[in-house]
Amino acid sequence: MSTSTNIKDSSDNINWLEKSAEKGDEGSMYNLALQYYHGEGTEKDLGKAFYWYQKGAEKGDEGSMHNLALQYYHGEGTEKNLGMAFYWFKKGAEKGHEKSMHNLALQYYYGEGTKKDLGMAFYWFQKGAEKGHEKSMHDLALQYYHGEGTEKDLGMAFYWFQKGAEKGHEGLMHNLAFQYFHGEGTEKDMGMAFHWYQKGAEKGHEGSMHNLALQYYNGEGTEKDLGMAFHWFQKGAEKGHEKSMHDLALCYNNGEGTEEDLGMAFHWFQKAAEKGQERSMHNLALCYNNGEGTEEDLGMAFHWFQKAAEKGQE
């Protein structure tokens, strides 16, 4: 990756960078491309960004290799070409560039620009993870968890989920908590599950918000606290998490952790049902059928009972 300092937005800097880049300085090539890509100090020009990333990549700058590959991958400033994206991600990965390692692994994993190869995906996720790349840790852990490209190993999945969680990756916090909760790859520990769901929830992970709420609701790993359960169901629901919407509706319906409010229960059952949550479809139908939180409407009740039945909800 280029070690050049950040360049201030100004035409003088662009002129200086262009002169330096034209003299063959790869750091200047990288930074000039960056300016053109983001339109900083000059008009945005993806074609010129591509040109200078290519020049820098050909001079051996791994940051340029990575960004050139991204432009090929997305078809920015050039025709989309997954094969060339793969080529440059591989070049960058072989030079030790961790983001290139991760993206190369993804191309092997999905068979983009190369033949699908879960073993090679595992290899490069591992390389990236060992260099401290959080997304690589996450994907490596998932391969261990599911036994993709390697033997299934819940202990190693736990190890890498923990490594990434400790670096602040909220998705890894959630998965680490899940393993503690179910005793997968480690001893079952509801307190540690609660700890990591809480960490993930505080960083905005909606799945963690829901599971943290459930632990408060059931008094697992912490004192039972319906008010806190309501709080985190609400947080998850507001982020669009359908199970949180359903459970928030139940809290309103039953007056748990909040005042009973059938109108709000109806509101959240409807929101979740519209997102495909089958239990909410059934409960929404009941609201219409019984005139709870809304006007009685047997036609709408039938509609949502039918929708729920199609999803397998009795």
Q: Which tens digit of pLDDT belongs to each residue from 49-100?
A: 999 999 999 999 999 999 999 999 999 999 999 999 999 999 999 999 999 9
Q: In the chain, where do the E strands start and end?
A: none
Token readout for 129 is 């993870």
What is the rounded distance in angstroms from the CA atom of residue 251 to the CA atom of residue 255? 6
CA angle 70, 75, 77 (to 5 degrees): 90
pTM of this prediction? 0.85
Asked if 173 and 165 count as a contact pair (C-beta separation under 8 A), the reply is yes
Q: Which tens digit of pLDDT belongs to each residue from 26-59?
A: 889 999 999 999 998 889 999 999 999 999 999 9
Using CA atoms of 183, 186, 189, 191 in order, give the dihedral in degrees to the nearest 10.
-130
Q: Which tens digit of pLDDT belongs to each residue from 133-165?
A: 999 999 999 999 999 999 999 999 999 999 999
Domain architecture of the chain: domains with CATH: 1-80 (1.25.40.10)
Q: Any residues with CB less than 8 A from the CB of 65 and at least 6 apart, and which? A: 56, 57, 88, 89, 91, 92, 95, 97, 100
Average pLDDT, the chain: 95
